[in-house]
Amino acid sequence: MSDLQIVLYPHPALKWKSRDVTRIDAQLRQWVADMFRLMYEAKGIGLAANQVALPYRLFVINPTGDPDQPEHEQVFINPEIIRRNGSAEAEEGCLSLPEVFGPVTRAERIVVETFDLNGQSLQMELEGLAARVVQHESDHLDGILFTDRVSADTLRELQPLLDDFTRRFRQAQQAGTIPDNEQLQQRLKQLETERAG
Ligand code: ZN
């Protein structure tokens, strides 16, 4: 059984600028399988590694959100968005901020270069929901949340919800059910070192 779980705002992993994946091995494959499972359990369509407190440039998506349609599953390893075209606004949410939603403007179409789980390099042209999910998840790898991309007015509306998350997180830390930030950051650095080079 895996001990991975989805971390909630404001866990420091969500602000982490993640490191490149340096090798695809059994451990990484296991993490990917766990991430898909957690994503489906949470009714999500994408999940980035730092949302399960793994500081690596990796995310999984399935724009259908349907575990019975695994043909739509895609694993992105060390992805780079190399082209963005057009602009579209749509409501977004995040598994690290349950019940928080807001409109975000993103590129309508993107070209992304990535490695897959076989270490194969590929280039993909995406549009619509898939393009949006990939932009949202790529942001995660740089420590950026969708709430960093909403308008000032929307952020003002969402702020009380974010404050509630912060309050609950601090309470859990004071109660000892979540380690303090220094320990959480130590753990992230340790994970980086374990898989560096
Ligand atoms: Zn998210």
Residue 137 CA to ligand 1 centre (angstroms):
6
pLDDT band of 2, cuts 50, 70, 90: low
| Contacts of residue 91, Cβ cutoff 8 Å, sequence gap at least 6 | 101, 102, 103, 104
Residue 4 lies in a domain: no
Asked if residue 191 is part of any domain, the answer here is no
Tell me: pLDDT of 118 over 80.
yes
- Whether 128 is in a domain gets the answer yes
13 DSSP 8-state letter: G
Report if residue 89 sits inside a domain: yes
* Confidence bin at 1 (pLDDT 50/70/90): very low
Domain coverage including residue 132: 12-185
pLDDT band at 196 (very low <50, low <70, confident <90, very high): confident
Q: Structure tokens of 180?
A: 């303090």
Ligand 1 is an ion; residues with CB less than 5 A from it = 94
Q: How far is the CA of 190 from the centre of ligand 1 (A)?
A: 23
Q: What is the reported pLDDT for 3?
A: 86
**Is position 1 within any domain?**
no
137: nearest Cα among 45, 5, 32? 45
Residue 197 has pLDDT above 80, yes or no: no
For the entire predicted model, the pTM comes to 0.97
In a domain, 91, yes or no: yes
Tally of domains within the chain: 1
- Beta strands 74-85 and 58-61: pairing type? antiparallel
Ligand 1 centroid, distance to 179 Cα (angstroms): 22
Provide the percentage of residues in the chain whose pLDDT is more than 90.
97
In a domain, 190, yes or no: no
Q: What percent of the chain has pLDDT over 70?
A: 98
Q: Where in the sequence numbering do the catalytic residues fall?
A: 137
Query: Looking at the domain assignment, is residue 149 inside a domain?
Result: yes
What pLDDT digit, counting tens, does each position of 134-190 carry?
A: 999 999 999 999 999 999 999 999 999 999 999 999 999 999 999 999 999 999 999
Q: What is the pLDDT of residues 24-37, one digit of tens each?
A: 999 999 999 999 99
CATH number of the domain where residue 129 is located: 3.90.45.10
Please state, in angstroms and rounded to a whole number, the distance separating the CA atoms of residues 137 and 175.
31
